[in-house]
A = this chain, B = another copy of it.
Amino acid sequence: MKNYYELNEKTVIEYVNNKLDFFAEDAIYECKEIGDGNLNLVFRIRDTKNDKSIIVKQALPYVRAAGEDWPLDINRGEIETRILKLEHDLTGGLVPEVYLFDGDMFCMVMEDLYDYKIMRYGLMDFEQYPKFAEQISDFLVKTLLLTSDVVMEHKKKKDGVKSFINPELCEITEDLVYTEPFHIGARNNVEESIKEYHETQIVNDKELALEVAKLKFDFMNNAQALLHGDLHTGSIFVNQNHTKVIDPEFAFYGPMAYDIGALLANLIMNYISTEARCEDEELKRKHKEYLLQTIKDIVNLFKSKALKLWNEVVTDKMAKTPGFKEFYVNDVLVNTAGVTGCEMVRRTVGFAHVKDLDGIEDDIKRAKAKMDNLNLAKIFIKNRNEITTGEDYLKLIEKYL
């Protein structure tokens, strides 16, 4: 940490120009800290004269929302850089390009996705991204299947497990997703109007806790594939034509279901948010229809693409046994439904919420949205064995929301 100092909107410009020959000499700079995360500072530096821009992401040695009392291993940027480069290769560009990683400053300098929007905010504006399901299902199938034992030489895969082990950030997930929301207290953030619902319907439901415990141990022990590890709609940049997944600092070898479920949960919470927040009935109808189609497509495309790609890339001899690929993909999808439910619970009553739900201004609607969300989440967790197709998701969403 000798040469480390926290950058700010002024010092970051000089820092980049010392490191990288990117901006022209006559550049006119505009710089803004745009991070909404908890773990990093994120600066966009823009040369308004020549219309060029760049992103600088600096890791903080603590969790921002909690201050210096919650320290973190700062070296995660190095892992993130390696992952982004790997994901870039595997997916043919569904993540941004990295120009530089600086291990002294724990800084990553990367492609600015200036004509993209963070998906969460785009969806909250009721925008549609017609190519997203196709592109994100590509991202999922390629990053997950191609890093698994189905495909990789097993010794190399184990080198991957070893080099991407990520105890600190996994612990955050283990606590914030799989433990605290199912208890009272800790770092939970439960708004007053749903406190009783949380206690009676979530905390006191021991059958639910048992299923969550199973999913938690799967998360901790099942080193199946190299995950993104935090694939919510705030980790995705989109526009009408392209998708770019960012922020893989939670990456580690874990169950494939964790990435797919996190994504589906965030789309479902946007659906609930749309119902409560959209005042134009026609727009509401269209946006909900778009979300349902997208959810359905992601599940079904993941399944069909995984089964198709399997035949082309499988190397493990036992994995070629008739019926095994169907078993394997089905198992991923069963656990995906469970993760979907856990993510929906934790984003409602846990430490880190989503704006989709918290942004519902009407108190009564917001409380109802959150309770509906918790209720549906329970169904996903408890009935996950029967939730393995896009149609299964749609049936439940239409029945319970």
Chain A positions within 8 Å of B, measured between CB atoms, are 149, 154-155, 158-159, 161-162, 165-168, 170-171, 174, 178-179, 182-183, 206, 209-210, 212-214, 216-217, 220-224, 316-319, 321-324, 327-328
Q: Give 15 pairs: A residue, B residue, CB < 8 Å, sorted on A.
A: A158-B165, A161-B165, A161-B223, A162-B162, A178-B318, A206-B321, A210-B322, A210-B324, A213-B318, A213-B321, A214-B327, A217-B318, A217-B319, A217-B328, A221-B224
Bound Cα distance from A42 to B226, whole angstroms? 40
Contact of A318 with B182 in the complex, beta carbons under 8 Å = yes
Residues of B within 8 A of A154 (CB): 167, 170-171, 174, 220
Bound Cα distance from A93 to B157, whole angstroms? 35
Residues of B within 8 A of A171 (CB): 154-155
Bound Cα distance from A324 to B154, whole angstroms? 31
Closest residue of chain B to A163 (Cβ to Cβ) is B162
Residues of B within 8 A of A183 (CB): 317
Bound Cα distance from A213 to B327, whole angstroms? 10
Residues of B within 8 A of A321 (CB): 206, 209-210, 212-213
Contact of A324 with B214 in the complex, beta carbons under 8 Å = yes
Bound Cα distance from A174 to B315, whole angstroms? 13
Residues of B within 8 A of A216 (CB): 316, 318
Closest residue of chain B to A206 (Cβ to Cβ) is B322
Bound Cα distance from A328 to B221, whole angstroms? 13
Of listed A174, A179, A324, residue having the most chain B CB within 10 A:
A324
Of listed A166, A212, A220, residue having the most chain B CB within 10 A:
A220
Residues of B within 8 A of A178 (CB): 318
Say whether, besides A155-B171, A170-B154, A149 and B221 are in contact (CB < 8 Å): yes
Bound Cα distance from A179 to B155, whole angstroms? 16
Contact of A317 with B179 in the complex, beta carbons under 8 Å = yes
Closest residue of chain B to A183 (Cβ to Cβ) is B317
Bound Cα distance from A87 to B162, whole angstroms? 22
Taking A159-B167, A214-B327 as known contacts, 15 extra A-B pairs with beta carbons closer than 8 A to each other, sorted by chain A number, are: A149-B220, A155-B171, A158-B167, A161-B223, A162-B165, A178-B318, A179-B317, A182-B318, A209-B318, A210-B322, A213-B318, A213-B319, A213-B327, A222-B223, A223-B223
Bound Cα distance from A328 to B209, whole angstroms? 14
Residues of B within 8 A of A162 (CB): 162, 165
Residues of B within 8 A of A327 (CB): 210, 213-214
